Amino acid sequence: MIQMKFKTSKELEAHRSAVLKAQDPKRKWISFCVGTGCIASGAEKVAAAMKLELKKNGPKGVQFKETGCPGFCERGPLMVIHPEGIFYQNVKPEHVHDIVSRTLKKGEIIKELLYIDPSSGKQVTNEKDVPFYSKQKRLILGNNPLVDPTNIDDYMAVGGYTALGKVLSEMKPEQVIEEVKKAGLRGRGGAGFPTGVKWETTRNAKGAVKYIVCNADEGDPGAFMNRSVLEGNPHSVLEGMIIGAFAIGANEGFVYCRNEYPLAVKNVTLAVQQLRDVGLLGKNILGSGFNFDMSVVRGAGAFVCGEETALMASIEGKKGVPKQRPPFPSQEGIWGKPTNINNVETWANVPFIINMGAEAYARIGNKTSKGTKIFALVGKIKNTGLVEVPMGTTLKEIIYEIGGGIPNGKKLKAVQCGGPSGGCIAAANIDVPVDYEGLKQYGAIMGSGGMVVMDEDTCMVDVAKYFLKFLLEESCGKCTTCREGIERMLEIVTRMSEGKACLDDIALLEELANVVKDTTMCGLGNTAPNPVLTTLRFFRDEYIAHAKDKKCPAKVCKALISFNIDEKKCTGCGACAKRCPQSAISGENKRPHKIDQKKCIKCGVCESTCKFGAVSRR
């Protein structure tokens, strides 16, 4: 690690050369993901076992690097052995002995650990040949598996802080803003406002004190790209922020990170300290005369704090309640001072724009949306994980070519884009190019990039109910129409799911949704009806089935279904009867069992216990 403070960008470059010189490109090293997703699959135990095994039996000089998330969470824990690029997935502690003795020492490939491409059925040895990766363009995420997030030298080895050095030694603030404008960068967190224009407004705002903020309050359920970047490569975000602060003329910054992401908070806090130690934060950075420092602020579990004015109130140590705009944060933000706020992914794009040049950057993407975007592809999809593609890639390509399609031979029904503020895009419309404008025509938004895939077993009324419940809890309560309107909408949808609604309820629901949309103050309220409006638009027949026929076509809404045992499939093993909390299942040993519908509470324990698929919903 670095022991010095860099006084000029030349010193910084000299250090980078030294770091790179010490790295033999042919050296053997292991990249192992310890991001939250892989930790959830048991990565910590594997890492501990691997380190022990390397110490005991390993060949000398093999570096074991614990990195951030490469994105293929579905197959975690993930390991790549370099320089060959051998890709092992689903690695367990019992595999580490073989990995060391066979692969590291003898160069043998362990077939059981290889990924099998579900579409071709073939084993894939090399990471770069995995279709999930090979069809992406991994500008931001690409460095995650190369970098130990706790080691600033690792980030420097992949070109980190080159852009900052260039900006501080060669560019004027106005030139930086011009570059970002020319690149066409737009906000990656919500409405897609042009970043350069926002920076310029804050720069031109009156006042000597200005702030910048990184919005890492990634509250959209089903979205985790910001977590992954912040915990896997925090320096990439911080570099973008320092460049932005220089361009805007801010001397203090904040990273506002969600409390549910403990590893991200830890890694970004450490990175900030490292930057102070090497003089990239503090007074007179790289001899440029520019002063800047920042602190990490933890959120405390409030979705509305992703809204910029609420977030800023939270930074001030208050309740996160949104304020009326204008004045916009760029005029009056934190403590009344001009404040520029961008999200994690937006900041992380900045160093690339400086390094590549605006023109090269603007060649990625399409006419109105430039660069790449990371999506969290989750739900009913074969390859769950983070996907980074050029803007304008079609939803179909993302779902089928990268995501591998829908598991268990089911049919795609819809893709929910943009979190609770977004909407559901029906399967018939998946040729839509995924960019800011493309998604809007179907009532959805890009948001932070959550993509929840839904198959035929997903009930759209239930999805609407889910989001309304979520929003009811998260509404701050300031605007009456949001506070009360969401609750009334939830009542109607709940009636539908219980078979107690009538056809008129659909029209009432639609009317209410439009009122909430038109009469609330902040982004949360304005967009709260989107899940209802988009499902009403594209899946009206399902609402009608619930309201008129009292049926749930997807067999999800409990009041409208029953659990039954198929006599032909039931082996009479009695496993379900033993587990049933209501003792509602009876039958003789080795004879088909039956469910007493009067006792059944439809908890689904029998369905998930049965190994023969004999329990079904009707």
Partner 1 sequence: MEDMALVRKHELPGAPADIDERVDAILNRYSGERRWLINILFDIQAEFRYLPRDALEYVARRMAIPQVDIYGIATFYKAFSLTPRGKHIITACLGTACHVRGSIGVLEELQRGLNVKPGGTTEDGSFTLETVNCLGCCAQGPMVVVDQEYHGQMTPAKVRTLLEDERKK
Which burial class, exposed, middle or buried, applies to 411 when counting CB atoms under 10 A from its CB (0-12, 13-18, 19+)? exposed
- Binding status of residue 449 toward partner 1 by CB under 8 A: no
Rounded to whole angstroms, how far apart are CA atoms 613 and 570?
8
Size of the site for partner 1 (CB under 8 A): 59
In the window 150-189, what residues touch partner 1 (CB under 8 A)?
Answer: none
One character per residue 282-311, x = contact with partner 1 (rule: CB under 8 A): ---------------xxxxxxx--------
To partner 1, the closest distance from the beta carbon of 43 in angstroms equals 10
- Binding status of residue 412 toward partner 1 by CB under 8 A: no
Rounded to whole angstroms, how far apart are CA atoms 494 and 254?
41
To partner 1, the closest distance from the beta carbon of 136 in angstroms equals 16
Sign of the four-CA dihedral 566, 571, 577, 578:
negative
Alpha carbon separation from 95 to 103, 375, 536 (Å, rounded): 11, 31, 50
Residue of 115, 588, 138 lying closest to 345 (CA atoms): 138
In the window 555-584, what residues touch partner 1 (CB under 8 A)?
Answer: 579, 581
In the window 472-501, what residues touch partner 1 (CB under 8 A)?
Answer: 474, 476
- Binding status of residue 76 toward partner 1 by CB under 8 A: yes
CA atoms within 13 Å, Cβ hemisphere of 602? 13
To partner 1, the closest distance from the beta carbon of 40 in angstroms equals 4
- Binding status of residue 77 toward partner 1 by CB under 8 A: no
- Per CB under 8 A, the segment of 180-188, 279-287, 338-346, 604-612 that binds partner 1 is 604-612
Residue of 153, 138, 120, 162 lying closest to 225 (CA atoms): 138
Nearer to partner 1, 129 or 607 (CB): 607
Read off the tokens for 574: 């009695």
- Per CB under 8 A, the segment of 86-94, 154-162, 338-346, 458-466 that binds partner 1 is 458-466
Nearer to partner 1, 2 or 472 (CB): 472
- Binding status of residue 142 toward partner 1 by CB under 8 A: no
Q: Please, which residues have CB within 8 angstroms of residue 512's CB and are 6 or more apart in sequence? A: 485, 488, 489, 492, 529
To partner 1, the closest distance from the beta carbon of 69 in angstroms equals 9
| Among the listed residues 161, 224, 246, 563, the single contact to partner 1 using CB under 8 A | 224
Strand order in the sheet with 79-82: 63-67, 29-33, 79-82, 86-88
With beta carbons less than 8 A apart as the criterion, state whether 487 and 509 touch: no
To partner 1, the closest distance from the beta carbon of 348 in angstroms equals 17
To partner 1, the closest distance from the beta carbon of 307 in angstroms equals 14
In the window 324-383, what residues touch partner 1 (CB under 8 A)?
Answer: 376, 378-380
- Binding status of residue 227 toward partner 1 by CB under 8 A: yes
Nearer to partner 1, 131 or 221 (CB): 221
- Binding status of residue 452 toward partner 1 by CB under 8 A: yes
CA atoms within 13 Å, Cβ hemisphere of 81? 22
Which burial class, exposed, middle or buried, applies to 323 when counting CB atoms under 10 A from its CB (0-12, 13-18, 19+)? middle
With beta carbons less than 8 A apart as the criterion, state whether 159 and 174 touch: no
With beta carbons less than 8 A apart as the criterion, state whether 251 and 292 touch: yes
Residues of this chain that bind partner 1 (CB under 8 A): 36-37, 39-41, 73-74, 76, 218-224, 227-228, 259-261, 297-303, 314-320, 376, 378-380, 384-385, 416, 419, 450, 452, 454, 458, 463, 466-467, 470, 474, 476, 579, 581, 603-605, 608-609
